Structure 1
Amino acid sequence: MYGAAAAGIVEGMTSQRIDALDVLRGIAIMGTLGTNIWIFTSPAGPAGALAALEPAGALETFLRFLTNGKFLALLTLLFGVGLELQYRSARRRGTPWPGWYLWRAALLFAEGLIHYLLIFEFDVLMGYAVTSMVVAYLIGRSDRAVRWWIIGVGSAFTAVIGLLTAALLTAPEQRAGRADEPVTLFTEGSYADQVAARIDSFALYRLEAVFIVPLGIVLFLLGSRLMRAGVFEGSERGTVLRRRLMLLGFGVGAPLNLLTSFAGEGWFLVDRYLLPPLVALGLLALVTTVAHRLSGAPGLLRRGLTGVGRTALSCYVLQNLVAAALCYGWGLGLAGRLADQGPWWPVAAWAGVCALFTVLAALWLRRFDRGPLELAWQWAYRAPQRSRRSGGPGADGAERSRDAVRSP
């Protein structure tokens, strides 16, 4: 899904556009950890995730606002961009669509399932896999049909969030996620105990997919159509479109999202699923604009983000594995030891883990053109096709954009 550079370049692709996608992926991957780190650093771990609904200090609330839902939405938009690139590649080669893309989606689902069972309860890859199977049959339809799908699914999703929010606001006050006895599974339990708990609570932890899949359909299709509209281009049309997205994201979405972050636990669903996608559109436009304006050799920050973007799948899994080893009882157990250190402890943990996998990504890319999990995935993807190939081993790879290989 996220591979390394292939030899060919999709028609009309510029190096700035490719760099922007790499940097955006890197930012999205780091941003998702910015949301998840509050789960890892909680002594209750994922079992206490609903504690995010409870009142917190102003500083912690603001820090959570910076990441909550926004980078998940950005990553989802980028999956839609990747799906568009895969569709273009198939059309250009004259191969059936969705064809082998469904095998890609099946592999992504398997990766997500393994990631869920062995590492992290709130994996998003399984939800993305299901979403991509649906969107694969929609992406080639007319712009009018896709527009109605976006409006229809988006309106239904918004209505459901609105009804659930109304129910939360009118329900008797209660503290979600609190138990009479503290949860010790993640501070004292073994690794095997945690895996068993994920199996036992599969339905509970996979409940977020109810929100991720319909939201993903909207954002996948929107990412595809934004690319067709030229949002990553350096043309005047692309510049105007990005300005509008930044106005929508930072002028409308961000202030409203900040308001709901401090409005109380009843607004949790709006705060996580409805307003963050608006901010994500602004982020996508801002990062792309900056990438077009940069010239010369990339600096340390840009190289780091690009490296993470080029090894996005590996970094996504690695960051969760490292955070778990850092925080849980079977590792260093810092979540229990530093629970009283306030909101700066999660921020420090996030920065440390990000720095680690940024360095590891840079070192790995000195010898390989894609991440370790990307290499394993590419082997699994090509294995059933080898007997059907008629050309040389490079015939297929040279025809793809490196962005198409990296994306779902």
Structure 2
Amino acid sequence: MTTTHRIPVLDVLRGTAILGTLGTNIWIFTDPRGPSGSLITDTAGVTETLLRTLSNGKFLALLTLLFGIGLELQYRSARRRGHRWPGWYLWRAVLLLAEGALHYLLIFEWDVLMAYALVSILVAGIVGRSDRAVRTCMAAAALLHLTLIGLLTLAGVDGGDTTGRYPSGYAEQVTGRIHDFWIYRSESILIIPLTVLLFLAGSRLLRAGVLTTDPAGTRLRRHLTITGLGVGVPLNLLTAFGGPRWFFVDRYVCAPLVALGLLAALTSLLMRTSGSPRLAAVGRTALSCYVLQNLICAILCYGWGLGLAGRFADLRPWWPPLAWAAVSALLITAAGWWLRRFDRGPLETAWHWAWRLPQRTPTPANP
């Protein structure tokens, strides 16, 4: 989406989701057991469990809902201009896949962009169909997702008891991502049905008026807030403190439910205020901030960087939230500074150029 005709509420929501995902990922980066430490679902202390629960899965689900809203906006734009759908949107997905692959290989094991790109190709073919067809697809995705999570929970599957370590060198870490590709891509594969569901939910919520001030939109947000926060939060706390056995339900069932409540509650709040220009700046440079926050954390925590994960292991669970606050403050400051000088974030600029490049290629004249 270009920087013109933006929806301010969406920018703030997107900025919130980006910094919220950092709130989850910071526990991965600061784990003294290494990148694979997040696969070990052992029981943490009460304080750490509560701190993790504040962000675990919720803001990733919120970001996924927002991606679905963005896809719907792209669909509307194409139809309004008389363009074929999905048309050039597929090229956008290819670029996102390439960006995600580089991000995974060079920076972060648990990249989400690759999954978004692949699922967006599938959902692009569904979003324009009838409401009945979309509801059927959403029901099928929800049923498949709940079945998978239910089977894993009943089987007592957890992350195992392997112990990791931070690689001593950058090249070693890159090699490890290649060697353990399917291990680190396991979450993205597992939540494909959930991602399809949330993409389509975001699209349909936009059509239902979740971002409007009319009575229907107000009622919708109120119902989502009551369900997502009034029901989802208590369930989320129960599963969070229920032990490793409930890991999958906690992260992949309760957290998305809470995300719906967050989307509605934050939107209602933003509509009654002047918004947050600082968070909006992060939202306008979401791709750049997402990659940059992971790069900064990698330099701070990994063994080939400052190695703070190992040095500050005894300061958990307090130092990860402090690291999150420091990196978030840096991103907010950097995003605002950048947008005062440029129209788009650096990666957004490169991405937009790459997206427009084949469309500018002149068609050879007929002989």
Equivalent in the alignment of 1:111: 99
Equivalent in the alignment of 1:317: 291
Note the C-alpha offset of 1:210.
Answer: 1.7
Q: How does 1:334-353 map to 2 (within 5 A)?
A: 334-353=308-327
Aligned partner (choices 153, 157, 174) of residue 165 of structure 1:
153
Q: Is the 8 A contact 2:18 2:63 kept in 1?
A: yes
Aligned partner (choices 78, 89, 114) of residue 66 of structure 2:
78
Please state if 1:265 is matched with 2:253: no
- AA in 1 matched with 2:104: Y
Equivalent in the alignment of 2:169: 190
Note the C-alpha offset of 1:175.
Answer: 7.7
1: distance between equivalents of 2:362 and 2:72?
25
What is the DSSP-based 3-state SS (H/G/I as helix, E as strand, rest coil) of the residue aligned with 1:272?
Answer: helix
- AA in 2 matched with 1:45: G
Please state if 1:154 is matched with 2:138: no
Q: How does 1:274-293 map to 2 (within 5 A)?
A: 274-293=253-272
Q: How does 1:386-405 map to 2 (within 5 A)?
A: 386-388=360-362
Note the C-alpha offset of 1:388.
Answer: 4.9
Note the C-alpha offset of 1:255.
Answer: 0.5
Aligned partner (choices 162, 181, 187) of residue 178 of structure 1:
162
Q: Is the 8 A contact 2:35 2:166 kept in 1?
A: no
TM-score, normalised by the number of residues in structure 1? 0.87
Unpaired runs of 5+ residues, structure 1, are 10-17, 390-408
TM-score, normalised by the number of residues in structure 2? 0.96
Deviations 1:121-176 (A, max 9, x none): 000000000110000000000011101111111011101110110001xx7xx982
Q: How does 1:6-405 map to 2 (within 5 A)?
A: 6=4, 8=5, 18-51=7-40, 53-168=41-156, 176-179=160-163, 183-186=164-167, 189-295=168-274, 302-388=276-362
- AA in 2 matched with 1:326: L
2: distance between equivalents of 1:160 and 1:246?
27
2: distance between equivalents of 1:27 and 1:221?
21
Q: Is the 8 A contact 1:81 1:223 kept in 2?
A: yes
Note the C-alpha offset of 1:44.
Answer: 2.0
Cα separation, partners in 2 of 1:175 and 1:359, compared to 1, 3 Å: closer
What is the DSSP-based 3-state SS (H/G/I as helix, E as strand, rest coil) of the residue aligned with 1:250?
Answer: helix
Q: Is the 8 A contact 2:97 2:117 kept in 1?
A: yes
Equivalent in the alignment of 2:3: 5
1: distance between equivalents of 2:326 and 2:45?
23
Note the C-alpha offset of 1:212.
Answer: 2.8
Note the C-alpha offset of 1:342.
Answer: 2.0
1: distance between equivalents of 2:220 and 2:280?
24
What is the DSSP-based 3-state SS (H/G/I as helix, E as strand, rest coil) of the residue aligned with 1:97?
Answer: coil
Note the C-alpha offset of 1:4.
Answer: 4.4
Moved over 6 A (4+): none
What is the DSSP-based 3-state SS (H/G/I as helix, E as strand, rest coil) of the residue aligned with 1:231?
Answer: coil
Q: Is the 8 A contact 1:48 1:177 kept in 2?
A: no
2: distance between equivalents of 1:271 and 1:215?
14
1: distance between equivalents of 2:89 and 2:2?
18
Unpaired runs of 5+ residues, structure 2, are none
1: distance between equivalents of 2:166 and 2:198?
35
- AA in 1 matched with 2:139: I
Deviations 1:271-296 (A, max 9, x none): 1111111100110001110111014x
Note the C-alpha offset of 1:190.
Answer: 0.8
Q: Is the 8 A contact 1:70 1:277 kept in 2?
A: yes
Equivalent in the alignment of 1:15: none
Q: Is the 8 A contact 2:21 2:59 kept in 1?
A: yes
Note the C-alpha offset of 1:354.
Answer: 0.5
Q: Is the 8 A contact 1:4 1:371 kept in 2?
A: no
1: distance between equivalents of 2:13 and 2:181?
31
Q: Is the 8 A contact 1:185 1:193 kept in 2?
A: no
